[in-house]
Amino acid sequence: MNHEQSAITSHAAGINRALTVGASSVSRSHVVDAPIVLRGMTATSHRFHVPLVHSDASSPSIEIFAREINSLEDTDGYDIDGEVSQGDDNQAEDNRATYQAEDNRTTDQASTTRTKPWLLYLQGGPGFGAPRLSSLSGWLKEATRTFRVLLLDQRGTGLSTPINHQVLAGMAPDEQADYLTHFRADSIVRDAELIRSTLGLKSWSIFGQSFGGFCALSYLSTFPESLDRAIITGGLAPLHGSADRVYRATYARMRARNVEYFAKYPADREILNQVLECVRRGDQIFSDGRNVSVGAVQMLGMFLGGNTRIDQLHFHLEGALLTTAEGTQLSDSFKETLRQQASFASAPLYAVMHESIYAQGEATQWAANRVLAENPDFDPFSPEPLLTGEMIFPWHFTEDPALRPLKEAAERIANKADWPQLYDVERLKTNQVPVAAAVYSHDVYVDRDLSLETAQSVQGLRGWETSKFHHDGISDDGAAIFARLLGMTRVD
């Protein structure tokens, strides 16, 4: 065993020793806690052990956490292969009515839950755990009418063996980079397959939002026989090509979104210019002692990624500036907003691995930063730089204290050229699994044109393009979106 393997094995062994035993069911690789009752639902924690490297029989294991959600309402679900009308955006309620099977309710609600099929939810990211919800609402409430829903903390996120600089502290940069290569969609899918098998399921349905949709496409490429259906929202990944084409599209979409925002709030352009003037003086300091940078200000563009947040940017800019005896300053509350927006302390995996989700057989080499040269209106040194979007730059690993210890590993990840393929394009061309996907016309994170290109490559995929929602559609009206897409996966 070489030094690199030894470090990884030692790390995983420490995680294994920390495994705790749940209250109701225990096996060597699966621990189930007693369910807890929340508003409208029960939540049951599951912990699984899976190999770090699925292709290595001697690989150390890591822990994967998932939370099973079941509705407390007296519902039997739907006949999920029943007829569903395909009307306009306002017909979700009608869809649900026509979708419901004849009433055969039982007084034994637990028995009803056990007969429901399973739905695996794949969270967006990469690097974010599944949602932590204290009540049943939105898309999840709609989904639990039909399914037992399993919210997966993808490897490296949430309560699954986490990725952060503390966990990786004992590894050299080469070892860190090697370890991180096992946290892409292909490994996440294999984790899911082991979980499905451990639960004793012949097959299940999957729902992927954003990066979760990328994982769903990888799942369809690899284990289609394990899937009853796949639902994807804002997550049709490009199946081929370099990361450069993704970021060219992202800059173009963000430019249009900037224009749209400042047309709605024209006074905010001048406020933003004053903010940049303050920052360029070099005397604006975050609460942690760091200087506020122009790049950090530009990251406010993340608020432009959806309908549910765009107006929040306006409210933040309203309170951005203070007039003091020393001149115009940034308010402490606004600086805290900037600090939080520019920090990846809660999701370092996102920053380190973001470009790698597009990598297949070639290095990304900081694609967003390279393509920036083609888009001077986003250059932080331009007089009035536009707000950026879902882009990671080398400076993040210099400015962000949570990322500095991972800087060298991030360089190695950016220059790694031998990434395996994430999708089997030929297999997708002959796909037999029902797939329904929402494509958002003005999505600034997952480009509409690239999404439609992918949709054409997946046999049988039923797409629904809409301009009513942005990337955060399932936060905006998740119940209606989920009901519509579930209906589109019906068996004719």
pLDDT in tens, 16-41: 433 333 333 444 589 999 999 999 99
Q: Are 463 and 455 in contact (CB under 8 A)?
A: yes
Beta strands in 97-188 (DSSP E): 118-122, 148-153
DSSP H or E stretch at residue 226:
none
Exposed (0-12), middle (13-18) or buried (19+): which is 271, by Cβ within 10 Å? Answer: middle
Count of H-run helices and E-run strands, the chain = 19, 13
Of 117, 182, 183, 128, nearest in space to 152 by CA = 128
**Among the options 103, 108, 418, 492, which is catalytic?**
418
Which pLDDT tens digit goes with each residue over 63-105? Answer: 999 999 999 986 555 555 543 333 344 433 433 332 232 233 3
**pLDDT above 80 (res 454):** yes
Q: How far apart are CA 359 and CA 363, in angstroms?
A: 7
Alpha-carbon distance of 364 to 368, in angstroms, equals: 9
Q: Do 485 and 209 touch, CB atoms closer than 8 A?
A: no
Token readout for 2 is: 């070489």
Active-site residue identified among 76, 471, 475, 477 = 471
Decide if 160 is catalytic: no
Whole-number pLDDT of residue 306: 82
Tell me the backbone φ, ψ of residue 50, rounded to 5 degrees.
-130, 160
- Asked if 220 contacts 349 with a C-beta cutoff of 8 angstroms, the reply is no
Nearest to 284 by CA among 334, 343, 338, 330: 330
Residue 111 pLDDT grade (very low, low, confident, very high; cuts 50, 70, 90): low
Confidence (pTM): 0.87
For 380-384, what is the mean pLDDT?
96
Query: pLDDT per residue over 470-491, tens digit each?
Result: 999 999 999 999 999 999 998 7
Known catalytic membership, residue 103 = no
SS3 state at 244: helix
pLDDT > 80? residue 492? no
**Residue that the structure tokens 């490559």 belong to:** 457
Whether the bond between 126 and the residue before it is cis, its omega within 30 degrees of 0, is yes
Integer-rounded Cα Rg, in Å, for the chain is: 23
Q: What is the DSSP letter of 456?
A: T
DSSP codes, 174-219: HHHHHHHTT-SHHHHHHHHHHHHHHTT-S-EEEEEETHHHHHHHHH
DSSP 256-292: HHHHHHHHHSTHHHHHHHHHHHHHHHT--B-TTSPBP
* Strand residue runs (E) in 59-99: 61-71
Separation in Å, CA 52 to CA 240, 445, 469? 26, 29, 37
Q: Which of 187, 205, 210, 451 is catalytic?
A: 210
Does 29 qualify as catalytic in the annotation?
no
Domains of the chain (ranges plus CATH)? 3-240+423-488 (3.40.50.1820), 243-415 (no CATH)
- Residue 169 is predicted with a pLDDT of 86
CA distances from 361 to 168, 175, 414, 423, 430 (A): 26, 21, 12, 12, 23
